[in-house]
Structure 1
């Protein structure tokens, strides 16, 4: 029997296309799995392959890393369900550890996340008795008590819904200590179910929908008036506005109100405080451009301005830095990011690529599939550029011959400082059926380093399947994962001598 195995072989696998791929460390795999999933609010109620893999990985890494990744995912990547899952799993694996309460206090940013975490805790611990949440972990209790002290009556009332675990249930379970008499009075209202009904767009439109109207014209006028009232009230949050642009424009609100909408969409403070994932702007842009409204162009301009504001603080790559951006257009990239979403991995790759292009002075952008094609684009139109590339989908085919990006640079003897691939990592060679060892990203990178010794290769993982087409241990090769513009913060950290996980490890709990 052989005990001293070849570790290099043990670190390789075969991807979904049958090509050689390289495995990540458990920490790196957990990071890529978390950064590239929205999960769903109720994912833990059913078998979910991504969830199961995350749970398995959390048992293989240090609890401190799990805690920091959960806080990073919530506060930097703006994810909601994955941090809840990680904090709950941490509580299950490390009961009595203060790390659990610190993590929970660090991830709960909205009142509904208190109930969501308790529902997750109930499911993960397989509680089936009448009192499913009896004997709540003390550290979970402490973390949620800190969270309870953060919110006011409006916030509690907004999320006081008829869910599996209700707000009142959570209060009884957690027993948070009120910080003053006013908060005690607020907790009493939660117990008595006397929280003031919040003024939100959901409650207002719901009340409107329950009324009867003498004609369609009267109903239309009422809906228009209600949207105008909501816009004037400033109670329509940024995310709600993005999601309701179609409804507002179809309601034909006044020009004055459309001006307020576009002003808010492109307001610097509003954009920064909204913490939107970049593809949310793209989703809104795609919806709006289909509308036959006099305001379509103005709203599209406002969304473009908003995207550019959202990455104002993103570091540029310097006037002298030559950058190649390559977007994967393969068939596997046409996968939706969640069951209910129309956004695909393909859209996210294009979006991140165009955000990066905006910050580059010297840049070549293109798409790869069966072939690789450079597509010159202006650098100042993020959303419009994404739409342009979307329309040209199919020009390069639907395979994943990513090695052609490097082969083209070698053939043209063109030196770039950074080559960046946005992909789901399922690269293969459709020309030889993976029989060639030459037609691989790894081989071509070694060849390219001979003519561009200082070049760096960044592979942006958009799918998080736990493997890469090239080893991150190779010379100047880096893997970064995620759908947020915060992936570029990781890039900055690497440029300053850190590694991919340094920003996560630097989180203070």
Structure 2
């Protein structure tokens, strides 16, 4: 008779042994420097998280940046900005790149710094000393001057919104050389110096005239420049209609307070704008941003406007792939997932929790793949009844309402093993800090042991660990496991290619490295 104990021991040796511990002090697998830096790049916001503080994140990023070549650092900064839609991390990587002997900095700068917010962030980081000095330096100063020179008047005015530093502060730092009389007048106006009124751009002339007489036509400037003036509800309605999709989504309650929805037809017009598929796609909205707007839409926001956000959600999740075969999605609903997804920051902590994002991803998968199974977990699998035909908002709310308990990433896999389930793709959405199933340092994790059992029955199955926090340990690592991080649509392309067998476990890094500088 076969000695099963021997074979069990031998099988265990074939599994990869852990080589680090996670933030919960449980055995785990370390990501490579490139993988780890990419994880920080698409999830890090330099705020305190459940397991780590902002300073630890920054120290880790600085260390990891020194372990990769400048070209990869540049590509990662571009990826984080263009695909990850991040703000602080791309300019941080760019600041670190500025001190290296490479032209990758000058090639990456225009693609990373696309807005005034990004420019101010870059200057702030450079002056903080994070990049190794507290001044801009020659190359960065030239890039900032060129950025200012290339801005159109509307872009320049949009960049005037914001502080610490403000755009006028930046202008005073870099002393841009005006290319013509109009730009000279614009710079002087921005920093409060005497200027030639006749040479000012038409938009600025109209703004100055409006400040003197608010009965005039609204000037074409960012609405934040008008809020200190006493606008009528009709003027506020005009602001809402002319605003970008994101601006409207962010200011629904502001519009309600200022009487916009009291103007006949405005509710219908704004609802149509919010629900327009083409506009939603162009806005590059995160689904969780829509979830927040939907939750925060007060009773003063008309029902048709709130419903339009649900319509927009259907467009926003259209990039979630439709998978063949048996799909299982496992959202982490443990206690640590109750922390803000972008971390804690005094006076600016997001109301969106990690569990909200995990629930939204799971609900999005279910909406696009109605036969998928959803197995939320903490210490164990939490049974919840979902209907694939229900709206994403409804199912996400059901999942996000669970919450609590420890983290046991093995639990859903144990359930599948027990059921002898047929599995083609399993997707975890978690902070990956599993500890209840800890098997001790040097052994395979509990998650990998359970995955190996699933693979015996389903040899072609694939496992995806989608991490939404800036941690760089994983409970699963193998050729059939994709570790990926972030909130944007870009993760779905990588998951789809991996699930279809078009790429391997390195698909995420491959996408980053494929960026053409």
Give TM-score scaled by structure 2 length. Answer: 0.81
Is 1:154 the counterpart of 2:154? The answer is yes
Shift of 1:485: 2.5
Question: Aligned partners of 2:332 and 2:221: how far apart in 1?
Answer: 44
> What are the within-5 Å matches in structure 2 for residues 394-473 of structure 1?
394=403, 398-429=405-436, 440-471=446-477
Answer yes or no: is the 8 Å Cα contact 2:332–2:407 preserved in 1: yes
Partner of 2:11: none
Answer yes or no: is the 8 Å Cα contact 1:98–1:139 preserved in 2: no
Match of 2:92 among 65, 82, 85: 85
Shift of 1:75: 0.9
Partner of 2:270: 261
> What are the within-5 Å matches in structure 2 for residues 97-136 of structure 1?
97-124=102-129, 133=135, 136=136
Shift of 1:48: 2.3
Partner of 2:516: 508
- Aligned residue pair count: 464
Is 1:351 the counterpart of 2:372? The answer is no
Q: What secondary structure is seen at the aligned counterpart in 1 of 2:376?
A: strand
Structure 1: stretches of 5+ with no match in the other structure: 1-7, 41-45, 209-221
Quickly say closer, same or farther: Cα 1:415–1:178, change in 2 above 3 A: farther
Question: Aligned partners of 2:503 and 2:439: how far apart in 1?
Answer: 38
> What are the within-5 Å matches in structure 2 for residues 314-393 of structure 1?
314=319, 316-318=321-323, 320-336=324-340, 337-338=342-343, 339=345, 340-372=349-381, 373=383, 375-379=385-389, 381-391=391-401, 393=402
Partner of 2:6: none
Shift of 1:507: 1.0
Quickly say closer, same or farther: Cα 1:90–1:493, change in 2 above 3 A: farther
Shift of 1:160: 2.4
1:301-334 Cα deviation digits (max 9, x unpaired): 211221222243x26234x321001110000111
Shift of 1:461: 0.8
Shift of 1:126: 8.4
Question: Aligned partners of 1:202 and 1:173: how far apart in 2?
Answer: 24
Shift of 1:438: 9.3
Q: What secondary structure is seen at the aligned counterpart in 2 of 1:458?
A: strand
Q: What secondary structure is seen at the aligned counterpart in 2 of 1:501?
A: helix
Question: Aligned partners of 1:28 and 1:110: how far apart in 2?
Answer: 27
Shift of 1:29: 0.6
Query: CA RMSD of the aligned region, Å?
Result: 3.1
Q: What secondary structure is seen at the aligned counterpart in 2 of 1:141?
A: helix
Shift of 1:377: 2.2
Question: Aligned partners of 2:31 and 2:315: how far apart in 1?
Answer: 34
Moved more, 484-493 or 159-168: 159-168
1:377-434 Cα deviation digits (max 9, x unpaired): 224622221112223x15xx5222221211111111111110111000011227x997
Structure 2: stretches of 5+ with no match in the other structure: 1-14, 48-52, 208-219
Shift of 1:186: 4.8
Give TM-score scaled by structure 1 length. Answer: 0.82
Q: What secondary structure is seen at the aligned counterpart in 2 of 1:459?
A: strand
Moved more, 174-183 or 371-380: 174-183
Answer yes or no: is the 8 Å Cα contact 2:321–2:492 preserved in 1: no
Answer yes or no: is the 8 Å Cα contact 1:111–1:148 preserved in 2: no
Match of 2:284 among 257, 262, 275: 275
